[in-house]
Amino acid sequence: MQFSEERLSARFLTDLAIVLRPPVEILLNLAIRRAWRRSSSAFGRLGRFQNHPYLIDPKDLPVVFELTLSEDGGAVRVVRRALQPTGYVAEISGDLVELLALFDGSADADATFFAGGLTVRGDTGAVLALHNALEAANLRLADLLVPGPLAPGLDPILQRLIEWRRARKQTGGEPHGVH
């Protein structure tokens, strides 16, 4: 009984995420555009990995994200996890807070990866190039989570929230989601 309730709940969450896909995609694409405007050369650091899709997989969300960047900008697509197609240059998975901390550069990628907080598949060079491009773009958490003019003011609050969640996990408050 409990099992089917869990399955129902997972399916409900997935359906909800898919219903919310258009506004989420708009929000994330605006974030990419803002970062690109701020530092237009940053995504060029991807070199030969420009225009190749990456799969970003937050283990604790019912959907995954397909991210494609180039020196002319980029795009994000929300994809149902069960339907995820193949052909990504690299796949990066981990808990949402770890991925957010990596995207805004507040976590050390090597330490997180080697401690088991992240999984990567595919071309390791592509993963490194993406990390360096995102660092150069100076993405802020608020860019990803809050639209427009509210972003700068809310960034310190979001930073502290993410730090608190990560610290709770590291001190054993919760089991790690990635093995």
Partner 1 sequence: MGSIELVCPAGSPAMLKAAIEAGADSVYCGLRDETNARNFPGLNFDAEELARAVDFAHRRGAKVLVAINTFARAGGEDRWRASVKTAIRAGADAIIAADLAVLAHVRELNPTLRLHLSVQAAANTPEAIRFYVETFGVRRVVVPRVMSAPEIAELIKESSAEIEAFVFGGLCVMTEGRCALSSYVSGQSPNLSGVCSPPEAVSFERTAEGMVSRLSGLALDKTPSGATAGYPTLCKGRFAANGEAAYLFEEPTSLNAMGLLARLGEAGVTAVKIEGRQRGKAYVARVTRAFRKAIDALDRGESTAPYEHMLTDLAEGGRETQGAYNKRWR
Binding residues vs partner 1 (CB under 8 A) = 41, 45-47, 49, 105-111, 114-116, 119-120, 123-133, 135-136, 138, 179
> Per the structure block, which two tokens stand in for 143?
């860019």
Evaluated on CA atoms 46, 103, 111, 58, the torsion sign reads negative
Q: Which is nearer to partner 1, 80 or 169 (CB)?
A: 169
User: Residue 26 or 115: which CB sits closer to partner 1?
Assistant: 115
In the complex, minimum distance from the CB of residue 98 to partner 1, in angstroms, rounded to a whole number = 12
- Between residues 24 and 128, which has the closer beta carbon with respect to partner 1? 128
Convert 19-68 into a string of H (helix), E (strand) and C (coil): HCHHHHHHHHHHHHHHHHHHCCCHHHHHHHHCCCCEEEEECCCCEEEEEE
Least gap, CB of 97 to partner 1 (angstroms): 14
CB of 22 to partner 1, least distance (A): 31
DSSP 8: H
Structure tokens at 26: 């708009």
Please identify, using beta-carbon distances, which residue of 23 and 125 lies nearer to partner 1. 125
Nearer to partner 1, 112 or 146 (CB): 112
Question: In angstroms, what is the minimal distance from the CB of 168 to partner 1?
Answer: 15
Which segments of the chain are extended strands (E)?
A: 54-58, 63-70, 73-80, 90-94, 118-122
What is the closest distance, in whole angstroms, from the C-beta atom of residue 125 to partner 1 in the complex? 4
